[in-house]
Amino acid sequence: MSAHTSSVIADLAFEPTPFRVRAYSHGRQIADSHRALLVWEPRRVVPMYAVPVADLSAELVTPATAEDLPSRLPPVLGPHVFRRHTTPGQAWSVRAREDVVEQAAFRPSDPDLADHVVLDFAAFEWKEEEEAVIGHPHDPFKRIDIRDSSRHVVVELDGVVLAESSAPRMLAETHLPVRWYLPPSDVHLGLLERSDHRTTCAYKGHASHYSYPAAGRLGRDLAWTYERPLHEAEAVRGCISFYNERVDLLVDGTLQQRPRTMWSLDDRAT
């Protein structure tokens, strides 16, 4: 199933969402729809919202400038490269009174989406029903599962033990490596420093990071924690996880292979 879902990334796809979807620009509502769709352009790893044009309270206008796009695109596109479209269609800007958001809308040429316009998630604020949505729209075919574990987990880097726990929490997320979240009492916080780096996960919330200065670049933003997680990730509140792409992770005495992902910074990752 994992291979199958990965194989369809080359296709334009859409799925209805059961939720009322609203978009705001600087606090002003610009879309309100009970008929929104989740749309995956080819090579996009997360969906975007598309709403019927009739459900817009903003105006679609011709962009003032054309986007100068590279001739070659990466194999997959994340949520923050909206202007790089991989299916035929027309880009539009969104005007709400005096505000114009350049190229924040796209109307695919596909006849099944003829009445809809895809909106740039990052350009607006969003709600599903009465709950704010952050990061990107939730993918109904992706989930996170968290389990309490008694496995013995050791985190090392360059022979230095950074954390050791027999009470970890195991977080499995679709298409991502398993992450081990450890109680802060089992992490050698004296070896780490708080970082200014922040990241956002649509399913877990906003994360703050720790660095391990002794490891230089490899140790930068090496670990993270969710201090105010979304309800789906409440079980890992305050726990600390390390990028297993960049540390030596032993689980019950067995050294785990370092996965190769966008967070791999070191030639030793395999």
- pLDDT tens digits, 232-269: 999 999 999 999 999 999 999 999 999 988 888 754 43
Spell 133-168 as b/e; 16+ CB within 10 A means b: bbbbbbbeebebebeebeeebbbbbeeeebbbbeeb
pLDDT at 47: 95
Is residue 229 over pLDDT 60? yes
CATH for the 144-255 domain, from 2.170.150.40, 2.40.160.20, 3.40.50.720, 3.40.50.10140: 2.170.150.40
State the span(s) of the chain assigned CATH 2.170.150.40.
2-133, 144-255
Q: How confident is the model at residue 78 (pLDDT cuts 50, 70, 90)?
A: confident
Q: What pLDDT, in 10s, does the model give residues 4-35?
A: 666 667 789 999 999 999 999 999 999 999 99
Determine the CATH number of domain 2-133. 2.170.150.40
Encode pLDDT of 129-146 as tens digits. 999 999 999 999 999 999
Identify which has the larger pLDDT, 30 or 96: 30
Half-sphere exposure of 188 (CA within 13 A, CB side): 11
Instruction: Give the global pTM.
Output: 0.86
Choose between 109 and 98: higher pLDDT: 109
pLDDT score recorded for residue 267: 46
Residue 137 in contact with residue 119, Cβ under 8 Å?
no
